[in-house]
Chain A
Amino acid sequence: EPEVTQTPSHQVTQMGQEVILRCVPISNHLYFYWYRQILGQKVEFLVSFYNNEISEKSEIFDDQFSVERPDGSNFTLKIRSTKLEDSAMYFCASSRSQYEQYFGPGTRLTVT
């Protein structure tokens, strides 16, 4: 069964550094998403992406964040200058239509 994959599983970075989180969505899916979950809290929407552009972004998704689909398979989230409060689990998800979204296993980002 096809699944969403994410790399790395765990990323440790220093405050102020840039990080790129990578996702490979399910191959025939058209809609892509990033969510984050701070430890012990609910899952929060960051950004959605369709037809090579951002569809919607939340207030969290400020100028420090960007997304890209550099080729036909990868979907990346870049944080330009990480802050301590960016420490969280980041989930990529994809969907083929308006129905359910399938989530990847997540990348745990630790900012020190």
Chain B
Amino acid sequence: AQTVTQSQPEMSVQEAETVTLSCTYDTSESDYYLFWYKQPPSRQMILVIRQEAYKQQNATENRFSVNFQKAAKSFSLKISDSQLGDAAMYFCAYRSAINTGTASKLTFGTGTRLQVTL
């Protein structure tokens, strides 16, 4: 079974600064997807960024980028130019890419609460 670990329960960053959230995972599969989801106080889960394991290039979405290290099974999220609206819980998630014609579940980490200060 796959596991996802987020070792930072809480992080804090000043507005306009950069912060990196860590995520490691364990799997025996070679093909999979990794995601970062944001959960603001409203508790809605919002997709931030996605990475396919077969791609060596790190995914980027505006101020959000990842550092994907497949051999180390590490998938960190970097938020540049942090804004007050970035304050939320961030969850790392894993999804198998094995296509069995069925719906593959997401396995989540325990989350990192990000505070953004002035």
A residues sitting closer than 8 Å to B (CB atoms) are 31-33, 35, 37, 41-45, 48-51, 55-56, 58, 89, 91, 93, 95, 98-106, 108
On chain B, the residues within 8 Å of A105 by CB distance are 42-44
Contact B50 A101 (CB under 8 A): no
On chain A, the residues within 8 Å of B42 by CB distance are 105
Range, interface on chain B: 20 to 34
Contacts A91-B45, A98-B97, A99-B33 given: A48-B103 contact, CB under 8 Å?
A: yes
B residues sitting closer than 8 Å to A (CB atoms) are 33, 35, 37, 42-47, 50, 91, 95, 97, 99, 101-111
Count A-B pairs with CB separation below 8 Å.
70
Prevailing SS type, chain A contact patch: strand
A–B pairs, 23, beta carbons within 8 Å: A31-B103, A41-B110, A42-B108, A42-B109, A45-B105, A48-B102, A48-B103, A48-B105, A50-B101, A55-B102, A56-B102, A93-B106, A98-B99, A99-B33, A100-B33, A100-B47, A101-B106, A102-B47, A103-B46, A104-B44, A105-B42, A106-B43, A106-B44
Contact B43 A99 (CB under 8 A): no
